[in-house]
Amino acid sequence: MLCILPFILLTGQSIKMFIRGRPITMYIPSNILNYEELRMDLPSQKLDLDWVYGYRGRDCRANLYLLPSGEAVYFIACVVVLYHISNQTQRHYQKHTDCVRCLAIHPDKVRVASGQTAGVDKDGKPLQPFVHIWDSKTLVTLQQIGLGTFERGVGALAFSSSDAGTFLCVIDDSNEHMLSVWDWNKNIKHVEVKSTNEAVLGVDFSPTDTNNIISCGKSHVYFWTLSACTLTKKQGIFGKYKKPKFVLCFVFSLTGDVLTGDSEGNILTWGKSAADTKTLGKGAKGKQNIMKQTRAHEGSVFTMCILQGGAILSGGGKDRKVIRWSADLAPERECEIPEKFGAVRTIADVDGEELLVGTTRNAILRGTFSDGFVGHVDEMWGLATHPTQNIFLTCGNDRQVCVWNAEDHKLDWCTTLEVREVTENELWVVLDLQTKEVVSDLTDGNEQLSVMRYSPDGSFLAVGSHDNFIYIYNVTEGGRRYTRFGKCTGHSSFITHLDWSKDGKYIMSNSGDYEILYWDVASGCKLLRNRFESKDREWASYTCVLGFHVMGVWLEGSDGTDINALCRSHSESMVAVADDFCKVHLFQYPCPKPKAPSYKYEGHGSHVTNVRFTHNDSHLLSMGGKDTCILQWRVKGAGTGDHSKEHLASSSSVCSSSSSPQGAEDGRKRLV
């Protein structure tokens, strides 16, 4: 990795920094008389995590539970969320250092175990995975186990229940999927054994005997016996029944049988009754055997849940159904999850009638499944906050455009952009915020569009492309009509960021080869070759990652791609930075000197792709890329603005790119 070299003071008017050997000259504004004596302090504001949007249902299992406190507990990115259903409030367990992958609830329904993936630090060195056991009432960490023991990550967890939760079973993500049993309170590992080279999807103790453990996964279900600190396993025999590709889930019936759900859509009942050697084959005697096969779902059985009276709930993949079964597996009732929410990933029983359902499209649905919240299911880049209201917009590779209410913490609406037949030019569209209708669609260039910004008065729209051009449009008819005004030509690499001057006449832009260029839009999109003339220009926004006023946000050792986005607050007192190492930084603004101090905030489980302040600087929104998570941070300290509720203006519209994850950027009368 090539480092940023020391900043070099060339003259009294400019300084130069180097990224990957490329010199970047920046001119010192006239109001700075002595650059060397400038002090860089921490900002007077700080951030507190206020709300987490999203749920990791796309690739994790058994990760939604209801606590006696009335809180649903689940996770996304590095945060375990405790969402109070009735009060509609959130609390957050934030002690994990990388993405959380699994949860287990102690029999006392208070203590929680959560396991994480390994991850890497900013230098690419692996970080060790571990399990935290913590108190859900106080959020205090009670124990950390497995540091230095688990490989790659923790895939499955379970507390014992017949002995008041003394033991914790853990399966890691190593090649052998090591299974270990811990006296978690004493941090003592009692036994560890290789499980299987195939994927493991679930593990649990027998509710009546701590010495019996079951695990399941690809083409297997194992029955483990713990004796004298050794673990022995017996493989479930499918006999005359078709062996499924995956055993996806299992539960214990009140009669002591084991019910497994598989990728064939069947629920198999396993018991210890005398084996039928004629149908099951020789060698079946003395093993766990299938007593009954119940056809349950079209497609996979993703999850099962035992209700208090012995009834069973199952959730389907392809058919998206939740079915209630009697204790002897007679179907009683069923309902179907709307297709837009995906398949059923997991079910949590609220009171026998009302349910919480987590889905594969990162939604959690309650009760009749008409309420709930939905998240993105692919990498996200586009983020915009409304200029006068407490709403924000997100978009990503899943082609979803979502409008959220930051005050009520709810999704106002979400739509999926249609994919057109392949064309020579890249498409971007304008949507009406009220009707959700496309009011205009246009094309520019033959490569992806990376950034879009309205001028301060909304009369122009700038569209930055990977074809190295910035396309300028006149905006008329209340944001419904767009006509090409000009094209800014001069960058030698793709456009990454751009900002308008406060008077709406000029643009500052960054590109993939670390150029800073300035453009006179009012005079016909002319490149200003004398950049010295722009040193005192005031900018309506500051999202360019390269510029004199934000030079200090670059850390020593950065390679030029380590900062994905930044955003200056409307008060112009602070700047938030999204980096490639899962961190959100908060600096003072301006920040023109190297090694400037900052507050650093964790919570994302992948590169942070975007940050934006709300209209009154009361909150900051940050967006993770592959963790599909949106974090809402409360700004604490001076200049945090006013928290009053606003209402969506009927004339608002929204603009988004269908070809680029950064197609939603900013707005005045519109959100772009």
Cis (ω within 30 of 0) for the bond into 590?
Answer: yes
Closest CA to 591 of 46, 43, 31, 36: 43
Spans of the chain, pLDDT less than 70: 1-12, 122, 273-287, 351-353, 367-380, 419-425, 557, 638-672
Which CATH architecture fits 236-273+287-375?
7 Propeller (2.130)
Q: Residues with Cβ < 8 Å from 435, sequence gap 6 or more?
A: none
C-alpha angle with apex 163: 213 to 201, nearest 5 degrees? 30
Q: What is the pLDDT of residue 645?
A: 32
Residues in a beta bridge with 19: 22
Residue 606: per-residue pLDDT? 84
User: Contacts for 182-189 with beta carbons within 8 Å, 24 or more apart?
Assistant: 182/145, 182/146, 184/113, 184/131, 184/133, 184/143, 184/145, 185/142, 185/143, 187/143, 187/144, 187/145, 189/145, 189/149
Which letter does DSSP use for residue 4 in this model?
P
Burial (Cβ within 10 Å: 0-12, 13-18, ≥19) of residue 128: middle
Residue 430, strand partner residues: 440, 655
What are the tokens at 557? 């050792």
Distance CA 622, CA 626 (A): 13
- On whether the CB atoms of residues 321 and 335 are closer than 8 A, the answer is yes
Rounded to an integer, what distance in angstroms lies between the CA atom of residue 540 and that of residue 64? 44
Q: Quick one: the chain helix, strand, coil %, rounded to 5?
A: 5, 45, 50
Q: Name the residue among 324, 325, 319 with its Cα closest to residue 344.
A: 319
CB atoms within 10 A of CB 251: 21
Q: Is 385 helix (H, G, I), strand (E, B) or coil?
A: strand
Quote the DSSP letter at residue 353.
S
The sign one gets for the Cα dihedral 121, 127, 129, 133 is: negative
pLDDT of residue 5: 40
- The per-residue pLDDT for 669 is 30
Could you give the residue range(s) of every CATH 2.130.10.10 domain in the chain?
9-48+379-637, 55-206, 236-273+287-375
CATH 2.40.110.20 corresponds to the domain 9-48+379-637:
no
State the CATH class of domain 55-206: mainly beta
Q: What whole-number distance in Å separates Cα of residue 522 and Cα of residue 520?
A: 6
Q: How far apart are CA 221 and CA 178, in angstroms?
A: 15
Q: What is the pLDDT of residue 417?
A: 79
Identify the pLDDT of residue 228: 85
Q: CA separation (Å) from 106 to 67, 134, 157, 165, 437?
A: 10, 10, 11, 6, 48
**Residue pLDDT, tens place only, 171-226:** 999 999 999 999 999 999 999 999 999 999 999 999 999 999 999 999 999 999 99
